[in-house]
Amino acid sequence: MNKLIALTGDQAAAEAMRQIEPDVVAAYPITPQTEIAMNFSQFVADGRVKTEIIPVESEHSAMSACVGAAAAGARAMTATSANGLALMWEIVYIAASTRLPIVMPTVNRALSAPINIHCDHSDTMGARDSGWLQVYCENAQEVYESIIAAVKIAEHKDIQLPIMVCQDGFITSHAVEGLEIFDDKKVKEFIGEYKSRFSLLDIERPITVGPLDLQDYYFEHKRQQSEAMKNALTIIPGVLGEFNKEFKRNYGLFEAYRLDDAEIALVVMSSTAGTAKVVVDNLRAEGIKAGLLRPRFFRPFPKEEIAKQLFGLKAVSILDRSESFSTQGGPLFIDIRSALYELDNKPLMNNHIFGLGGRDIGIEEIESVFRDLIKAVKDNKLETKVNYLGVR
């Protein structure tokens, strides 16, 4: 039977890990992820899970331990944030290239310098081309449920890629919500027993892992990774369909909020979408046809589905919680602009970079973006492509 309890986003992630009970967890603390490692370690200490927990001396070692465990056929997990993810960098690529289905709850945090421990998406956006799947969650409930679904997605035989389940540092990770927690048995039945197709410990079927791979086969292996990412785009909806049926949810690659008849819309990921929905409702009450698109998966990037959702709108603003330093806008804006390039009837589009280093964004700021879109539709032009929302 499901139960309702009050948890933070970090505790929700640890609770999902308890129910999954992976074979191996590598634990290293970094704010604001620390409570995930701390709470899961307590589950191990209390004998509530049989997971082998490996306390390591750095995030580089945490991902290395996961790679070793996963290559040996274990279901492996860890968690990190910001500079910790940056320190994993070398091994993050090895995990993806070796096609190891590691699940990593990731609490988004700004990267130094200057030193800042609060939320933005610069850490995981920096890893967007590493070959990992990425899902971005609006609240703690979604964090909990996405980690469970992530296991089945990553381990699918036609995907076999690692996955980051992202939540906003201190906003989602440390705020307490009432969470519906599924029955332990149902979670275990849903994810099933992990049976690795290849294992370093299978002496009857010896394999080579991590060999030198120069001009002869490296290109082919990268192409295979690319094909796995394409497979993910078609397989994830099916896995989420199973999840939705089992747990009575409605998850997809993205969430469309009041978009059906919208004329103007915002695109934004993670917790800010919750505030933006309030603004959409307020504008709707004034008779303004506003809407919202919240991509859940950024990798794989659901290009065609997003283009279909935004087709026919008069003006759209894409909100990025990270700066790409390309001078072309944030990562989400760049990908969406590319996705819409071939449309005959493109909406007017601009980009707002916001919330860097944890700066608050409220109803007033989001409403101002919508008001600018209303003016842009009237004038049939947007003055500035890339804007900085809330900066002094």
Secondary element (H or E) of residue 279: helix 272-285
What's the DSSP call for residue 113?
S
Segment 241-277, tens digit of pLDDT? 999 999 999 999 999 999 999 999 999 999 999 999 9
Q: Are 108 and 124 in contact (CB under 8 A)?
A: yes
Question: Per-residue confidence at 383, pLDDT binned at 50, 70, 90?
Answer: confident
Q: Is the pLDDT of residue 51 over 90?
A: yes
Rounded-to-integer distance, Cα 244 and Cα 74, Å: 27
Sign of CA dihedral 303, 309, 314, 317: negative
Average predicted confidence (pLDDT) for the chain: 97
CA nearest 236: which of 332, 159, 139? 159
Helices 184-191 and 140-155 cross at an angle (nearest 10°) of 30
**Average pLDDT rounded to a whole number, residues 195-220:** 93
Q: Are 387 and 352 in contact (CB under 8 A)?
A: yes
Segment 89-119, tens digit of pLDDT? 999 999 999 999 999 999 999 999 999 999 9
Residue 115: the pLDDT is 96
Q: Is the pLDDT of residue 356 over 90?
A: yes
Segment 108-162, tens digit of pLDDT? 999 999 999 999 999 999 999 999 999 999 999 999 999 999 999 999 999 999 9
Share of the chain above pLDDT 90, in %: 97
Q: Are 144 and 194 in contact (CB under 8 A)?
A: no
CA nearest 290: which of 182, 374, 376? 374
Question: Per-residue confidence at 306, pLDDT binned at 50, 70, 90?
Answer: very high
Residue 56: the pLDDT is 98
The 3-class SS string of 302-363 reads CHHHHHHHHCCCCEEEEEECCCCCCCCCCHHHHHHHHHHCCCCCCCEEEEEEECHHHCCCCH
